[in-house]
Structure 1
């Protein structure tokens, strides 16, 4: 009997079937075949971001700065400057020279004015350069300084109890403060502004009714914004950096203080920006204990040297150029 022959077409069909079976086995083995997973939504968790230590909400109304006219920025005329390291006998400067260091009150959280460099650990900024100029005029050495870190609310008391020689910490010269401490002539003029997130819709004080607005405790900006928009909900913190943290955590809607401080905060977060017009001017002065008129005249002499030598502009260009071209330092006015 002759053997049956398979047709060519039948052989091809069997070959194709074998290939398909092999492919199916390979796909399953290699995980190429995927099956829809059952619905499994992620667990829902609720949490509250902790507020910075010392934060206070819905604080009481404060008076606007310089609501009375007292010519707060008028200061004492500088006299002849002594040779560095040779201070007049029985002067405040001689006492500082004898101690061997200038004690300066400031903070390390005001970016651009006084902050700690994260790489070197050095305290730097515009206010620090002012302090170093005072130190150089006394000791002939700019680094003979002991820094005391103060919050905004602690500045005046530190001068009253003489725990520091000077405060160089974005300290605005106001009528209220001149009752307790003395000031140099102004070394910087700032404008109060508002800092808000780019998506907040806040463009000025008109949008702040019922909004939570942050400021460092003891700042003059609190009373001013409350007088401009009485319905604002003020939140106060220990430092300006805390205000930025609360904005990032959506615990406040905005922050307000001087433009130079806000610019330093904006440098740290690209999602916030300065908005709105100037809400008022602030003049920074070096705080000095009451009754130390010789030190006031001496510091004013140092500031005069910074203005006339061009060093003030160098300091501005190094630290504050983000604010744009400067119109120059404030012109001092002396009462004698």
Structure 2
């Protein structure tokens, strides 16, 4: 089943007008997705068949965020109830972003209007392994703050959407082994006096996405005193890209988000720039439902192959090297360590 395409009428990414158009398109796209819905498909994605979610990954009490990425299940090609249900249905349902430049986005200069990006490549690769056809995937646009609920409710089989593996999230969803290394960073107007995640944020209005690790760090660091008490972190948005729009409109002074996403946003708008270095070390993982052990193991096998056969590197070079650089620490896939 080939994905249905949405025509894109935007021209270019820079500036407030383009960003506002992208956000308007995002609202329409949420209503139009899925892109690919096979004939006769009517049910929600299969989860664990109604079974009680098993404690397949370490609980927060024995977990630290420094090693949360090392708590996934070893890879396997064995099929269980979750994988069989996906095969019987005939397509993989994946929650993705549609407005994160070079990660998962609608390219306004691509007449086909197809979703593109690093995360989109990975979703197609998983579908190819599970179903023998990279296009047997149903994409659903998921806001940042809806990623966990979408998995737990069974709206999607998995989320491939720049989602950091943390101990708190391991309580709610299962994760694959890590597929990308990143860290939190500050984005601000190029002419701003903000210098990074430091005292220069005093009295500044900081924007972050609801349900993001960025907001978690901002909240914790303000309570601990790492951030100045006068830093205003009250500006939160459902989708991370909305922070860039707020920044362009002068409704906030800086954005805190993953450095990989911030670099892509700086590429979209030359009036903003990264400020300072990343101040955390984090890993993205594919998120799935607790108890879907066979799917977690299968995705980990896909990731092993993706790293070994050059697929990961080819995708990085195509999408992320222009913004992060070929020599970045993120340019090498993170090694997997299983529990």
Q: TM exceeds 0.5?
A: yes
Residue 256 (structure 2) pairs with residue 256 (structure 1): yes
Aligned to 1:111: 101
RMSD across aligned positions (CA) = 2.1
Q: Which has the larger radius of gyration?
A: 1
Residue 68 (structure 2) pairs with residue 77 (structure 1): no
Structure 2 CA distance for partners of 1:67 and 1:294, relative to 1, 3 Å: closer
Q: Deviations over 1:34-74 (max 9, x none)?
A: xxxxxxxxxxxxxxxx9x99xxxxxxxxxxx9996264212
Are the equivalent residues in 1 in contact too, given 2:144–2:240 (CA < 8 A)?
A: no
What are the residue-to-residue correspondences of 1:140-159 with 2, within 5 Å? Answer: 140-159=132-151
Structure 2 CA distance for partners of 1:97 and 1:68, relative to 1, 3 Å: closer
- How many residues align structurally? 267
- In 1, Cα distance between the equivalents of 2:328 and 2:122? 17
CA shift, 1:98, in A, is: 1.0
- 5+ residue gaps, structure 1, are 1-49, 54-64, 83-87
Are the equivalent residues in 1 in contact too, given 2:201–2:228 (CA < 8 A)?
A: no
Aligned to 1:92: 82
Are the equivalent residues in 2 in contact too, given 1:184–1:285 (CA < 8 A)?
A: yes
SS in 1 for 2:183: strand
Aligned to 1:241: 241
Q: Deviations over 1:100-126 (max 9, x none)?
A: 111001121111110012132101111
Q: Deviations over 1:112-156 (max 9, x none)?
A: 110012132101111111101100001111111111111111111
- 5+ residue gaps, structure 2, are 1-19, 25-59
What are the residue-to-residue correspondences of 1:125-274 with 2, within 5 Å? Answer: 125-205=117-197, 206-226=199-219, 227=221, 228-231=226-229, 232-234=231-233, 235-274=235-274
- In 2, Cα distance between the equivalents of 1:208 and 1:225? 11
- In 1, Cα distance between the equivalents of 2:239 and 2:154? 22
CA shift, 1:238, in A, is: 1.7
CA shift, 1:240, in A, is: 2.2
Which of structure 1's runs of 4+ aligned residues deviate more than 3 A?
Answer: 65-68
- In 1, Cα distance between the equivalents of 2:286 and 2:216? 22
Name the stretch that deviates more: 176-185 or 321-330: 321-330
Aligned to 1:34: none
Structure 2 CA distance for partners of 1:299 and 1:230, relative to 1, 3 Å: farther
Q: Deviations over 1:178-219 (max 9, x none)?
A: 011100000001021100101111111221112111111111
Structure 1-normalised TM-score? Answer: 0.76
